[in-house]
Structure 1
Amino acid sequence: MRTALLIATDTYTDPTFRALRAPALDAVELDRVLADPAIGEFRTEVLLNRPAQEVRQRVDEVFATAGVEDLVLLYLSGHGVKDQTGALHFAATDTRHDLLPSTSVSAQFVRQVIDRSRASRVVVWLDCCYGGAFPSGMTPRAGGDVDVVEQLDDGRGCVVMTASTHIQYAYEPDGSVHDEAQPSVFTRAIVEGLRTGAADLDGDGAITTRDLYAYVYERLRRESPDQTPTTSGVVAGDLRIARVGTPLPAGLPDELRRLVRSADPALREEGVRLLRARTDPVSAEALRMLAAGEDRDLAVAAGAMPSLPTDPPPSPVFAGHAQLLRYAGGAPAFSPDSSLLAAGVTVWDTVSWRSVGPVRLDGNSFAFSPDGRLLAVDKHPGASLYSTASWTSQGQVAQPSDGHLPSTGRLAFSFDGRTLVRWRFDRPPTLWVAVEDQWQHRPLHLGRVLSAHVAATAPRMVTLTVDSEVQVWNTSTRRPIGTAFRTDPPTRAVALSPDGKLLAAANATQTSLLRTGDRSVVTTLPGGVWWQDGLAFSADGRLLTTAGRDGVRVWSVPTGRLRQTIDTELRDVVFSPDGRLMAGVTRNGGVWLWATDPDDLRPLPAPPPLPPTAALREEKLDAAGRPASVGAVSAFAVGFGLVLLIAGLSWVTAALALAVGLGSAFAVGGTVLRVLTR
């Protein structure tokens, strides 16, 4: 049985407790969505403005009568206060501030009731405050410093989600203009996430406690940055809070999901109409799912739609290419509005292809902040920051010395621009967090990495360690999401889709697309990678490139179909946010561009031939004749971004070969020296 007890208090006899506008509406809206058989399937009960004894008794009864297989959800909205010992109490309508132990509902009582209950699955949502400062325009719900999670999360089989941390207030809308009641920020996020299905982050048709917290966290950080929801629990696995009716395919825009799952029939029909107008395979799959779903009106409407093609026409994505720089050596980056490209030692205008700004950039990689105001340039021992408005220096962030020689790295901003990540091959990653006007170093408890990737529009990052362990992280909390995993054969490269919902993990021969929520495999692409930075998603998440020995392949993410093959060896591929352009670095450090419209590259000179693929170079090497045996002297050295495979050569010969040029094969006395850029 699924039981939800919703307790809300907004009126108090003790004038010490300010009246609240939101709790009554909070309970009504939450009751509606949890009781909906198509969503929550809960048997709900609402207690509004009840005395403390009645609340305590009903809480005790609900948990005492629950069975082993039952799921019990307890929601409390109102004032949270503490007594002189620091113990937390929930204020009821008759609570007296000077008699908290006898006139309130203590957190200790709630925990004891949960501990005694036979229910193996318990969810607690607390929309009340634990103290701290609050911005103007919001009404605080309580005062005092209390950490509810510490007082509730050590109960057996209990997941607790709170509206804010122990040093913050939870906020309700001010309502000062029209004095219209609205749900609190926290509860509104829960209700909308459940009702629209937007909280189904992995698209599997179920909203779990983990899904819901991730959704609520992101909503609150956008709408009320000073309020940070928290979660804690001791339940193994995830608990399903709601289902979203007919599952919808991954990749469908959130706006369409909300329309199709709206409580308003007119909006649902509008969602179907918009799906019909689209010709992409994801929309076609959504119509098929709706036609087979339980909503009769939607099923009829979707079933009446003409069939749509399941695959896009077999046309290449890019129609032209050009060489921007013969040698740059670093990873390029587009600005958020696609108007600028940082590459080599300068920033380029992507229309005129002329350099802009007086700054000479000497870095190995670049990253624009999400708002486009900052450009980060990788420079040992950290990164230099520049204003894109004036191209003046905004300072430098440095990482603590690790005792290793200087080495180049890669940079990325988090989705909100508050975190800057730097990672280097065979070193632990470094994070800096923006605190007011300062960037402060923050540790990430992780060993040496091969690579990392940061999602563009979600607080997600994935890392790949030197022992092939893959881990997804929350960039806001710097905590791992789920457990780390390894693949067989070992993973060589990883990347996250812009929304953080899909994880691409590639080895030498194939690339798997997995849901980040449950690690389930969505599809497997028959193309692998040659480099640890050989994967890249387009800005809309609909394309994925794999850079392998036999060239660069461009895949359709929704269909898994190969869209285009580019016959060159490429790394550090990046798409422009508007989808017009793709940039990448060839093995000799040259920066090349590809465009959907060749006219976008017209200002650039005609390109020379593309460098060959690794496979083609191997064929030429075989044709030239490999040595019959390996000499007595062999060495393997890694340093300054190079891998040298030396067989039967003295160090003098090797040095001479390096002086002549990189990336070539030299036959000296019948012995071959191969130099591969890493």
Structure 2
Amino acid sequence: MHRSGLHVVLWLGLLLVSGCGAVAAGEKGKAVRVSLDSAQLSLAYEGERHALLIGISQYDDDAWNDLRYPGKDAEDLGRALADPRHGGFRSVTVLNQPEQTTRAAVLEALRELAARPWRPKDVLVVYVSGHGTLARDARGELQRYLVMRDTRFRDVQGTGLEMAVLERELEQLGSRRRVLVLATCHSGTGKSLLPPSVLEELERTKGAFPPRPLEEDSRASLVLSASDWGEAAREDDALANDIYTHFFVEALDGRGDRNRDGAVSATEAHDWARRNTWTYTQGRQRPSARMTEVGADPVLLSGTLTRPGQPEVFSYSPRLEGFTLKVDGVDAGELPGGVTLPEGNRRLGLHKGGEVLWEDTVALRPGERRALDSLLREFARGHRRTAALEVGALGFLDGRSRREVLPPTMMAGASLRWEGVLLERRLDVGVDLSAGQGRRALQLDVGGTVPVRHRAVMLGVTVGPSWQWGRLGVSTGPRVAALWLERSFQLDLLSQDERYVTVWPGWMAGVSWRVASQFVLEARGQLLWAYVPVDGRTRAVGFGGLSLGGGYRF
């Protein structure tokens, strides 16, 4: 069902906090006939699903409050994943007894995982529910730690399980569909306790909480959080679970199948739990998501793909958080998250505070999952050229030259600009070609007023930076132009043509206004300087030009 060769490394962090307090033998080469049914063959191609679920409710150090639901959370999730009607996982291992939840026992369980013959398309879910904390590592940097049953409050660094260690253990596996679920938090409340030194430091930190010590720099491809950083989530007696875990498990029975393809992906389960957690806690718990996009191949936690399903677009990028996704001009939801859309050509847009970050028409096919971050990159790559048609005027800057040498000439032409092609995408390159002609009387030194027909062709190259503020764009830079001029005097006694070519250096500046995602209006001005031979004499002249045009970005 998935595209061959597409490897997805997904790590899923779900941060949960309960409320404050304790709620918290034959010939070599001989062919052997093997019988495989279609289901077994499909499984061989699609990979197996395995889970290691850890729930830590009791702690040796009295400094850590015993918790009520971590063991049950692990069991409830395990039942949902093992259920052949839903998760259908090949193996589910639940560790929630005291002897199974020490640091040594958990590391041994991770080593046993590493010894398995993993294939890239195998799915692994590792779930840990219990206390979390922040502490300084050996380098003195603030890191996240998972509190094991035997973790000592006064020696978190030596007895806790650092998140970076867990991350490295999982990176050794051959599977590229890894989901790490952390039902812990590090806010200092609920399923969290902070050493005095960290508490003292936080009290001196401006703002509600310090910068994220791990997630923002993690090598994980996907980090989903059941609550925002530094925010207290909650266990709930009525649900007898962590609130987020309850709805995450609920999503696996099929309710989380947003696109109706028969399966529930990790992100679908998270989005279901995110919306319901927000509603249940009346907005006090804000599940969030962090994602570094590697691919759009989903990690399926429940069900089987039986049909293409509706198209989806999604984003878990921090830079898009808080943006509203509009589909055909109608609000479809706020990011992070995903939405399903009708197939066909859809006009998508990202809006925030009245500003439009991006708009484009996207063709969506059944079963397609499109990451908004990828669409933005495609848009940026695909709209870095602008072709424009222009009209304007070109003439000498000084009045004497306009009267005696060449009058202003109306010009029409075309230009092509490549954005960000030089110096690590800092400079644009533009090429333009224009031509014009006219009839005008010139005032000569002898002969008085003489009618003249004139023609001009100009080819120019400009290099320079550009800036964009919303719909407004500004560009500037040095310019070199080759100019061909012709003057034809039409007299009764004299018919004479003068032609010459010159190359001029100069400068260009322009402004543009984006009227749609692919159409712009442009205005450009240029100043050029050259020595021009006129009537047997070489004259230093300045030329100027103004043009208006419309462009198409592609």
TM-score by length of 2: 0.44
Q: Per chain length, whose mean CA-contact separation is higher, i.e. which structure has more relative contact order (CA < 8 Å, sep 6+)?
A: 2
Which of structures 1 and 2 has the bigger CA Rg?
Answer: 2
* TM-score w.r.t. length of structure 1: 0.37
